[in-house]
Amino acid sequence: DPWFLVEKAAGESQIIRLARERNDAMPCHVADAIAELVDGVKSPRIAVLGLAYKANVDDIRESPAARVVEYLRGRGFEVAVHDPHVKQSPFPMLSLEQCLRGADCAALLTNHDEFKAIDPLQAAAWMRHRVLYDTRNLLDVAAWKAAGFRVRLLGAGAK
């Protein structure tokens, strides 16, 4: 646990503390970026792809994605969630189509293998606005852009 190391070696652990603080702030940063992407959209609907804390598992304990959902809901956004692995969640789990239908932004938060197979043209047909925020750099940006999406990658700025 990084916070345990910070406590035990306070003088030598500044870099660990700073890294941990930055990581802890990421869900809020991601929620802010999503809000920016739908700025000006009336009653935005966000499709969250992935709730588990890491790829290809069903565990949502300490999941940054769950915190992103909470931040977005706290801002009054409608948030739909799809995770092919998670069966029990504090949020209703929807099918991929139900999640994307009418969405103004799709936010990929967990890099499950299944998400690589999403057809961008089908996603475009279901969504109200073609906006993708890929926080895991998992998807084929060129294919999503070819389907008419505005794509943003975490850490890469606007693309």
DSSP characters for 74-115? HTT-EEEEE-SS--S-SS-B--HHHHHTT-SEEEE-S--GGG
Q: Which one-letter DSSP state was computed for residue 41? A: -
Instruction: Find where tokens 């505005």 sit.
Output: 150
- Helices 64-74 & 14-37 angle (0-180, nearest 10): 50
Question: What is 26-158's CATH number, 3.40.50.970, 3.40.50.300, 3.90.950.10, 3.40.50.720?
Answer: 3.40.50.720
pLDDT tens across the length of the chain (159 residues): 665 665 666 666 677 767 777 777 789 999 999 999 999 999 999 999 999 999 999 999 999 999 999 999 999 999 999 999 999 999 999 999 999 999 999 999 999 999 999 999 999 999 999 999 999 999 999 999 999 999 999 987 554
For residue 137, is it left (φ>0), alpha (ψ between -120 and 50) or beta?
Answer: left
CA 57 – CA 40 distance, rounded (Å): 35
Q: Give me the pLDDT at residue 9, please.
A: 65
Classify strands 105-108 and 131-134 as parallel, antiparallel or unpaired: parallel
